[in-house]
Structure 1
Amino acid sequence: MVGHLGKNEQTPAVYRLKIGSFRVTIISDGYLEADPSFYSAGADRINELAVQAFRKAGPFRMGTVVYVIEADGRRLMVDAGCGPLFGPTSGFLLQNMAFAGITPDSIDAVLITHMHADHIGGLLDEAGAVFPGAAIVVHKDELGYFMGDLAMSRSNDRNRPWLLRARKVPEHYPDIRLFEREQEVFPGVTAFPLPGHTPGHSGFLIESGDEQLFLAGDLVYSPVYSFRHLDENFAFDVDREQALLSRRKGLDMLASERWLMSATHLPFPAVGHVARLGEAFEYIPEDWRHEP
């Protein structure tokens, strides 16, 4: 059956690629718009950089993607998108999963880069677990921080509902598997702690044969700001200095290893490489591939 788009509808945003024996489906959850003042550089500087990069001044757009990794009869998902928390431009995960032929009950585990609401908001709905058969895989320090007193003491009226939502995850997903260091969490999938943005913020390396894809979470936010301006922070970084250190270390690793990479908030389909540019880096999007 051939579907038809309404005049105000966009095409489903799904992108597939092969990494050795793995099939990876990158699924758009939509996008967010963040105020330029959220960057430590300040709104004026961020607006200046945006205009130089042929973007509009004002709120800057951050894509949001989720990954489904398939191999050996197992389906793993990395993060779960925004759910209903951030308005009409996001929360399209289930719609786009359906287009890709992936059902929520087919997900065996959800690997969490970190527990900010735009990464775990889609785990829950009014009935409870959206992915009822899934284990949760997360860094020990991440779960401890979001369930502890320090995160609550740092919350405010705006983000406290998001924190309370994160605290409900263990109630609805009793199978929680913790890691503490760089280690293989599933065959061919290795967790890489990249702390600072949050205490247990982590990336995941998918590796099969001589092919790799590194999923970097919130190591970077934008090809305009994050790769070249390495001393600037985003307002939601928990530990500013550690976040800057992890960003430099992570980008240096990606440039040295020449791995294909993706990060949650890069423009869809959010796949490319990191190259050195003097003392900084640049993002080079990969050409579109047709995968059977």
Structure 2
Amino acid sequence: MHQQSVIVSGIEVVALCDAVGPMGESLRRPLPETFPGSDPHWDRLRREVPEAFGPRGEWVLRFHCFVLRPPQGPTILVDTGIGAEDSPAASWAPVPGGLLTAMAGIGLAPGDIDVVVLTHLHSDHASGAVVDGEPVFPNARHLVQADELDWLESTGGAVLEDVVRPLTPLIDRVRGDRTLAPDTATTLTPGHTPGHQSVIVGDMDLLVAGDLVLHPVQLADPSVTYIYDDDAVKAAVTRTALLERVRERGGVLAAPHLPEPFVPVPDVWATHDG
């Protein structure tokens, strides 16, 4: 499969398609219920972004991870996808994921990754970091916000036991922003989860968003919330502020679940505005 890529501030950013499919029935809800406040937008979005919908009008998600290859500095992987057939994401995502195959297609082996940034610890973003109890990227430091780890440790679950525990020797607990390489840094973007983080390339020339933006409806109206946000109000405030910064810069949004992994925000807002 051809992997889409862009070069921003001299840094190659490659979108790696891990999977495509609808949300499983255990989590699936009607779209207006999934995205409260979205009712005015669906007819237009179905016309303009038909690839975001299945034959019965359901949400069809892309599951992308992103590799950043600076000319000097570490090879960075943002998120690790849905994982193997028995991963914590198996109850609702189209496992197994194809991340490692996609990486091989651009000449990368798991041992080539120096840094893994986990935007958050939901199963579709973190499960691919561990297979059969062993870290998949053994040479990489795994950057996770301390607030995210604290939250997961308080709530428990399969991601904690099957992913975080085996990764513990490789995890760096991050508090706030962290420089990864020249012109590349993490930034705290809370709301979807307490310790959600995104990656900025350049001066907001590209934002690897994680689940800051999940569906084109949130580009039509960033105030539209998501039923599975931990703090929907905070998520909307964070999303609106960050998208405005990208828009003002004329930058690119790299979002894992959108039909296209790289979206020039001004064009999208112009298309869906009004």
Tell me the TM-score normalized by structure 1: 0.77
Distance (Å, rounded) in 2 between the aligned partners of 1:41 and 1:162: 30
Asked if residue 70 in structure 1 is aligned to residue 69 in structure 2, the reply is yes
Residue correspondence of structure 1 range 93-112 to structure 2 within 5 A = 93-112=99-118
Q: Deviation string for 1:57-114 (max 9, x for gaps)? A: 4320111111111232621111111112345466010111112211001111101111
Asked if residue 131 in structure 1 is aligned to residue 127 in structure 2, the reply is no
Bigger proportion of residues as strand: 1
Pair member with larger Rg: 1
Could you say if the C-alpha distance between residues 109 and 33 of structure 1 is closer, same or farther in structure 2, counting changes exceeding 3 Å? same
Q: CA deviation at 1:123?
A: 0.4
Could you say if the C-alpha distance between residues 191 and 236 of structure 1 is closer, same or farther in structure 2, counting changes exceeding 3 Å? same
SS at match of 2:205: strand
Distance (Å, rounded) in 2 between the aligned partners of 1:21 and 1:192: 20
SS at match of 2:214: coil
Aligned to 1:252: 244
Aligned to 2:180: 185
Asked if residue 275 in structure 1 is aligned to residue 266 in structure 2, the reply is yes
| Identical residues among aligned pairs (%) | 26
- Alignment counterpart, residue 28 of structure 1, candidates 7, 17, 22: 17
The runs of at least 4 aligned residues of structure 1 exceeding 6 Å deviation read none
Aligned to 1:226: 218
Residue correspondence of structure 1 range 1-292 to structure 2 within 5 A = 12-34=1-23, 35=28, 36=31, 37-41=33-37, 48=43, 50-53=45-48, 54=50, 55=53, 56-71=55-70, 72=72, 74-84=74-84, 85-86=89-90, 87-88=93-94, 91-148=97-154, 151-152=155-156, 160-165=157-162, 168-207=163-202, 212-223=205-216, 225-268=217-260, 270-275=261-266, 281-282=269-270
Q: Is the 8 A contact 1:273 1:283 kept in 2?
A: no
SS at match of 1:275: helix
Could you say if the C-alpha distance between residues 90 and 282 of structure 1 is closer, same or farther in structure 2, counting changes exceeding 3 Å? farther
Distance (Å, rounded) in 1 between the aligned partners of 2:123 and 2:41: 24
Q: Is the 8 A contact 2:121 2:159 kept in 1?
A: no
Q: CA deviation at 1:33?
A: 1.4
After superposing the two structures, state which structure 1 stretch, 54-63 or 123-132, moved more.
Answer: 54-63
Distance (Å, rounded) in 2 between the aligned partners of 1:89 and 1:128: 18
Q: CA deviation at 1:263?
A: 0.9
Q: CA deviation at 1:124?
A: 0.8
Distance (Å, rounded) in 1 between the aligned partners of 2:237 and 2:83: 31
Q: CA deviation at 1:169?
A: 2.0
Distance (Å, rounded) in 2 between the aligned partners of 1:26 and 1:133: 21
SS at match of 1:14: coil
Q: CA deviation at 1:47?
A: 5.8
Q: Is the 8 A contact 2:83 2:95 kept in 1?
A: no
Q: Deviation string for 1:1-23 (max 9, x for gaps)? A: xxxxxxxxxxx141233223322
Unpaired runs of at least 5, structure 1: 1-11, 153-159, 285-292
SS at match of 1:218: helix
Q: Is the 8 A contact 2:190 2:234 kept in 1?
A: yes
Bigger proportion of residues as helix: 2
After superposing the two structures, state which structure 1 stretch, 83-92 or 107-116, moved more.
Answer: 83-92
Unpaired runs of at least 5, structure 2: none
Could you say if the C-alpha distance between residues 46 and 164 of structure 1 is closer, same or farther in structure 2, counting changes exceeding 3 Å? farther
